Amino acid sequence: MGLEDHLMLRTIASILILAFAAFLLLQLGSMGPSARSRKLWVDEDGNAGIASESCDGTDPVYLSIQAAIDAAEDGDEIMVCPGIYIEQITIRRNRLTIRSIDRSAVDPSADTILRPEELAPAGVWIVGDDNTLEGFVIEDKALTPPPHHHPHSLILVQGDRNTIRANRLIGRGNAGQVDSGILVHGGDVGNGVAEHNQIMENEILNVSGHGIWILSVGLNRAAYWTVVARNQVHDNPGRGITVERSPYTQVEYNMLARNDLALSLHSDASLPAAGNSFRCNQIFGNAWGARNTSADGTVMDLRFNWWGNPAGPAHEIRNLSGAGDRVGDNIDFAPWLTDPPGPVCPLIRIRIDIQPGETPNSIRSGRRVVLPVAILSGPNFMPAVEIDRNSLTFGPSGGEAPVVSCQSTVGDLDGDGVADLLCYFHGEHTGFRPEHQEGILRGRTIHGVPVEGRDAVQVSP
């Protein structure tokens, strides 16, 4: 080995060591607040058993949820005892867990009820990041009119990576306003984009506008990469779940029943709703099952859903024998499920190799680079001829970066005798951060069957 080669290897090793050291420092820094996290208690009678972690006790505690939030530090946990709390909540801190004792409002146990006196901008307004709101009954019982003659939102999420789970939201019915149960919509917070929020396992009813509304109205007032899963959205005089001009939204395993309109999508050229998927939902008993009002030609991907009948949804041209809920035009609803979805949604699991030939798969966060991802062949699967290349997306959740291009002339990368497919993605569009440990590729075959592949990554700043 020459002197130049030796110096080059030392330089590369130094860069790797520095990158790993920076990664360790970031991880250690992120561990600090959690190590000092506290548990704060709230009870409407002012007393709880803090030492025994019970709502039966004499220890003084906070009387209101907002008082506990104001006293909390980032990373703290707030335990709220059963009772009725008449207050509006604003969460500006990060990494808070605010939950009822039993973590669920959709079970028979005693409820922790929140009745906001004001619902503008929302009964619960979340502008911080990485928070969890779990296990509350939130009711709209505010007087109207006056002074509440305006749209009501029970929960408004404007920060990033927040989780709304196992809450029961009850609207005020048809009050002549476009209300919302859960609204995810960026605004004057951070970069104005609400990113990577999760709406999970909630029950939403009696809302006149939108049960769950994922909304973008501008590049800096938007919602990206939202997951809406396993919610029960029923008996709403308005829409169930609406995705409006918001890309990479996953709507999966929800039950939508007896709504005026179960699912709706809107996209336009200024804010295209790209990369959305609506899969493995149960849609039945609604006045309308789905409508697509997109103005830019976007097709609503509604394959692999259960429509309450094995014959599928009703469409006046494309499925005359359909006995399920009615659907509008520009909706791809076939194939549909002939039974309610099981634990695994129909999907072809594929093998991928991020940055083939490299170990580990090191990625620099936010760098303007092109990342290669190999889609490897398997038994009865030839990616070079079976993959719809334009459908591919890649990132930490699988829906972030659209494909730039694919190359089918790379040959056999994994040595199984069948040609593989190499595709490229803009690294700065993937959204990888140091805490991510896996890259996910999603797309579909030329016959419309979803595919998904995963591979480990090591992300440095």
Model confidence over 389-398: pLDDT tens digits? 999 999 988 8
Domain assignment of residue 101, yes or no = yes
Domain span at residue 73 reads: 34-259
CA distance 249 to 278: 8
436 domain-assigned: yes
Across the chain, what does the average pLDDT equal? 87
pLDDT band at 145 (very low <50, low <70, confident <90, very high): low
Percent of the residues in the chain that have a pLDDT greater than 70, as a whole number: 90
Residue type, 319: N
For 352, list phi and psi in degrees, rounded to 5.
Answer: -130, 160
* 295 has pLDDT over 50: yes
Looking at residue 326, the DSSP 8-state letter turns out to be B
* Cβ contact 54:48 at 8 Å: yes
Q: Indicate whether 187 and 62 sit together in one domain.
A: yes
Cα 253 from Cα 247, distance rounded (Å)? 19
Do 236 and 358 fall within a single domain?
Answer: no
Q: Please give the span between the terminal C-alpha atoms of the chain, in angstroms, as a whole number.
A: 32
User: Do the domain assignments include residue 277?
Assistant: no
Q: Is the pLDDT of residue 419 over 90?
A: no
Sign of the dihedral through C-alpha 99, 101, 103, 109: negative
Paired with 318 in beta bridges are: none
Q: Which amino acid is located at 86 in the chain? A: I
pLDDT in tens, 370-386: 999 999 987 767 898 88
β pairing state of 300-301 and 450-456: unpaired
CB atoms within 10 A of CB 77: 16
DSSP string, 232-253: EEES-SSEEEEEES-SS-EEES
Element (H, E) at 26: helix 3-35
Q: Which amino acid is at 176?
A: G
Shared domain for 249 and 109, answered yes or no, is: yes
Assess whether 221 and 354 both reside in one domain: no
pLDDT for residue 165: 97
pLDDT on residue 148: 58
Average pLDDT over residues 438-454: 88
pLDDT given for residue 147 in this prediction: 54
Rounded Cα distance, 214 and 266, in Å: 10
Percentage with pLDDT > 90 across the chain: 60
What the block records as the tokens of 323 is 């006995």
State how far the Cα of 390 lies from the Cα of 442, in Å rounded to an integer.
11
List, in order, residues 6 or more apart from 31 with CB less than 8 Å away.
Answer: none
- Asked whether residue 276 carries a pLDDT value surpassing 90, the answer given is no
Residue 298 confidence (pLDDT) above 50:
yes
Q: Are residues 253 and 382 in the same domain?
A: no
Q: Going by DSSP bridges, is the β-strand pair 153-157/421-426 parallel, antiparallel, or unpaired?
A: unpaired
What pLDDT digit, counting tens, does each position of 280-290 carry?
999 999 999 99
**Residue 373 included in any domain:** yes
23: left (phi over 0), alpha (psi -120 to 50) or beta: alpha
293 SS3 class? coil
Residue that is last in its domain, among 230, 259, 288? 259
pLDDT of residue 1: 42
CATH number at residue 442: 2.60.40.10
CB atoms within 10 A of CB 200: 17
Q: DSSP letter at 31?
A: H
Q: Is residue 44 part of a domain?
A: yes
pLDDT of 311 higher than 50: yes
Q: How confident is the model at residue 25 (pLDDT cuts 50, 70, 90)?
A: very low
Q: List the structure tokens of 280.
A: 């493995």
Give the separation between CA 167 and CA 258, rounded to whole angstroms: 20
Give the pLDDT band of residue 363 (cuts 50, 70, 90).
confident
Q: How many domains does the chain have?
A: 2
Distances (CA, A) of 334 to 27, 242, 314, 343, 434: 45, 21, 12, 20, 39
Distance CA 308, CA 263 (A): 15
254 and 367 share a domain? Answer: no
Q: Does residue 371 share a domain with residue 228?
A: no
Question: The tokens 């561990």 sit on which residue?
Answer: 31
* Residue 287 located in a structural domain: no
Q: Are residues 101 and 249 in the same domain?
A: yes
Residue 320 within a domain:
no
Q: What is the pLDDT of residue 47?
A: 86
* 460 or 98, greater pLDDT: 98
Q: What are phi and psi of 9, to 5 degrees?
A: -60, -40
Cβ proximity of 392 and 403 under 8 Å: yes
Last residue of one domain, picked from the residues 259, 289, 304: 259
Q: Are strands 288-292 and 261-266 parallel, antiparallel or unpaired?
A: parallel
Report if residue 322 sits inside a domain: no
What Rg do the C-alpha atoms of the chain give, in angstroms?
A: 24
Mean pLDDT of 182-190: 90
- The SS3 call for residue 264 is strand
What is the length of the chain?
Answer: 461
- Domain boundary pick from 259, 291, 323: 259
Looking at the structure, tell me whether residues 251 and 354 fall in a common domain. Answer: no
State yes or no: pLDDT of 347 exceeds 90: no
